[in-house]
């Protein structure tokens, strides 16, 4: 087991010597931020910096492995992000495609509270994918959104999350929306015997976000929806630790950090990092939807990074969204296995009758399960 964080980069470079030069520059840029010459003058024995382990030619570019000692990091997600990609985000052609995680670091950040099994226990569904609906659109009042919740719960959806675009708009203020939707789902559950969970979107400047998390906790929610790209990666571990709530993570805004040749690959960012920071479920676009960058291989890779063993961390639920169609739900279950959440929005609403649409969807999954 390594005691350093080992980061695997794909580097654009003119030749091997240039790639080696870039790797050394990264090892310094992300830590001491001084050139080797100045470090020798100022702090020859004490400066912390990355160590270039290898630089190799790859198919189209170069691969470099750089080790960062855990002393570079400290206890915070912010500094982990900073060492991984802080200053070099301002450069070009640097892609993090793999990270070797030391167990000590996994332990520091902790990962999911519930994980896949914990979420399955909450909704009482163990032998098929979970089904998730979304309250939308922005502009509806809280009563109408709560009506949609009631219908989805009545129809047997396992999870109902707020649309991530529902912030604290005047048309449906977060705290009122939260209360009404919780009540609507609880009433449906009492009638049907389902254990449908409602996940309010918790998103605001800090003090208001605390009030939202507090309200979710008080109302009996067990999970919330969080956008780490909008409110900070540490928002997830904060929700986990301070409120004991599970987290479904949304990928809004972090697309900028997942360019084809610069940033993180989607499996590293949405898989490793989101899971590390406390996501129990991670939403990302399924292949074939509105987001062409997420092809079949990428989706399969993200699934693996969320579900496969990762030291002491619990596995997290891949949550496929971005245009998942009711008619294809069964296909995706057969394709990706049972341990997924299918997030279905527009194609439920398009059927008009939300109760019937939800019921048919659930039956389609359960018919041969």
Q: What is the dihedral of CA 142, 148, 151, 153, to 10 degrees?
A: -80
Tokens of 259: 């360019």
CA distance 207 to 79: 23
Rule CB under 8 A: which of 102-121 touch a copy of itself? Answer: none
59 lies in the binding site for a copy of itself (CB under 8 A): no
Grouping H, G, I as helix, E, B as strand and the rest as coil, residue 86 is: coil
- Residue 147 · residue 356 · CB < 8 Å: no
Which residue in the block uniquely carries the two structure tokens 């929306």? 177
Q: Which is nearer to a copy of itself, 90 or 190 (CB)?
A: 90
330 lies in the binding site for a copy of itself (CB under 8 A): no
Q: Which is nearer to a copy of itself, 37 or 60 (CB)?
A: 37
CA distance 57 to 118: 43
Of positions 6, 12, 48, 186, contacts a copy of itself by CB under 8 A? 48
Of positions 2, 293, 363, 369, contacts a copy of itself by CB under 8 A? 293
Question: Taking Cα atoms as reference points, which of 216, 269, 263 lies closest to residue 238?
Answer: 216
Site string for a copy of itself, 185-214 (x = CB under 8 A): ------------------xxxxxx------
Q: Which is nearer to a copy of itself, 118 or 255 (CB)?
A: 255
Smallest distance, Å, CB 207 to a copy of itself?
Answer: 7
CA distance 132 to 344: 6
Sign of CA dihedral 358, 361, 363, 366: negative
Interacting stretch for a copy of itself, rule CB under 8 A, among 7-15, 183-191, 288-296, 324-332?
Answer: 288-296
Count of residues in contact with a copy of itself, rule CB under 8 A: 93
Give buried/exposed letters for 295-319 (b at 16+ CB in 10 A, else e): eeebbebbbebbbeebeebbbbbbb
Pairing between strand 94-100 and 4-11?
antiparallel
Sign of CA dihedral 280, 302, 90, 88: positive
Which residue in the block uniquely carries the two structure tokens 């341990």? 339
Of positions 7, 19, 32, 132, contacts a copy of itself by CB under 8 A? 32
Of positions 253, 296, 327, 369, contacts a copy of itself by CB under 8 A? 253
Say if residue 137 is preceded by a cis peptide, omega within 30 of 0.
yes
Q: What is the largest CA-CA distance in the chain?
A: 74
Smallest distance, Å, CB 313 to a copy of itself?
Answer: 17
Of positions 1, 60, 127, 352, contacts a copy of itself by CB under 8 A? 352
18 lies in the binding site for a copy of itself (CB under 8 A): no
Q: Which is nearer to a copy of itself, 189 or 328 (CB)?
A: 328
Rule CB under 8 A: which of 148-187 touch a copy of itself? Answer: 163-165, 167-171
Smallest distance, Å, CB 28 to a copy of itself?
Answer: 9
81 lies in the binding site for a copy of itself (CB under 8 A): yes
**Other residues' Cβ atoms within 10 Å of the Cβ of residue 16:** 12
2 lies in the binding site for a copy of itself (CB under 8 A): no
Smallest distance, Å, CB 63 to a copy of itself?
Answer: 20
77 lies in the binding site for a copy of itself (CB under 8 A): yes
Question: Taking Cα atoms as reference points, which of 300, 272, 306 lies closest to residue 286?
Answer: 300
Interacting stretch for a copy of itself, rule CB under 8 A, among 6-14, 72-80, 122-130, 296-304?
Answer: 72-80
Which residue in the block uniquely carries the two structure tokens 């998103």? 203
Q: Which is nearer to a copy of itself, 120 or 152 (CB)?
A: 152
249 lies in the binding site for a copy of itself (CB under 8 A): no
140 lies in the binding site for a copy of itself (CB under 8 A): yes
């Amino acid at each position: 087991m390594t005691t350093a964080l080992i980061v695997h980069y794909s580097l654009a470079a003119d030749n091997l010597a240039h790639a080696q030069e870039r790797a050394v520059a990264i090892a310094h840029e992300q830590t001491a931020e001084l050139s080797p010459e100045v470090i020798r003058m100022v702090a020859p024995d004490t400066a912390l910096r990355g160590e270039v382990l290898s630089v190799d030619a790859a198919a189209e570019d170069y691969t470099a492995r750089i080790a960062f000692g855990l002393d570079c990091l400290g206890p915070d997600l912010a500094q982990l992000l900073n060492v991984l990609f802080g200053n070099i985000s301002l450069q070009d052609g640097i892609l993090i495609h793999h990270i070797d995680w030391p167990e000590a670091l996994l332990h520091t950040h902790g990962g999911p509270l519930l994980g896949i099994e914990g979420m399955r226990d909450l909704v009482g569904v163990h032998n098929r994918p979970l089904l998730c609906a979304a309250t939308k659109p922005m502009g509806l009042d809280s009563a109408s959104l709560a009506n949609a919740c009631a219908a989805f719960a009545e129809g047997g959806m396992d999870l109902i999350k707020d649309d991530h675009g529902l912030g604290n708009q005047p048309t449906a203020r977060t705290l009122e929306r939260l209360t009404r939707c919780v009540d609507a789902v609880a009433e449906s559950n009492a009638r049907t015997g389902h254990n449908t969970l409602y996940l309010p979107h918790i998103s605001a400047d800090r003090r208001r976000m605390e009030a939202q998390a507090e309200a979710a906790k008080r109302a009996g929610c067990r999970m919330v929806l969080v956008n780490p790209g909008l409110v900070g990666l540490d928002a997830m571990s904060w929700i986990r630790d301070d409120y004991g709530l599970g987290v479904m993570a949304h990928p809004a805004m972090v697309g900028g950090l997942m360019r084809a040749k610069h940033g993180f690959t989607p499996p590293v960012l949405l898989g490793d990092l989101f899971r590390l920071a406390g996501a129990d479920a991670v939403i990302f676009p399924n292949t074939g939807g509105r987001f062409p960058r997420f092809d079949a291989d990428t989706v399969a890779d993200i699934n693996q990074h969320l579900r496969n063993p990762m030291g002491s961390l619990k596995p997290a639920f891949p949550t496929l969204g971005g245009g998942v169609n009711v008619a294809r739900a069964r296909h995706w279950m057969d394709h990706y296995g049972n341990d997924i959440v299918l997030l279905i929005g527009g194609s439920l609403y398009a059927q008009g009758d939300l109760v019937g649409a939800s019921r048919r969807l659930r039956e389609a999954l359960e018919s041969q399960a």
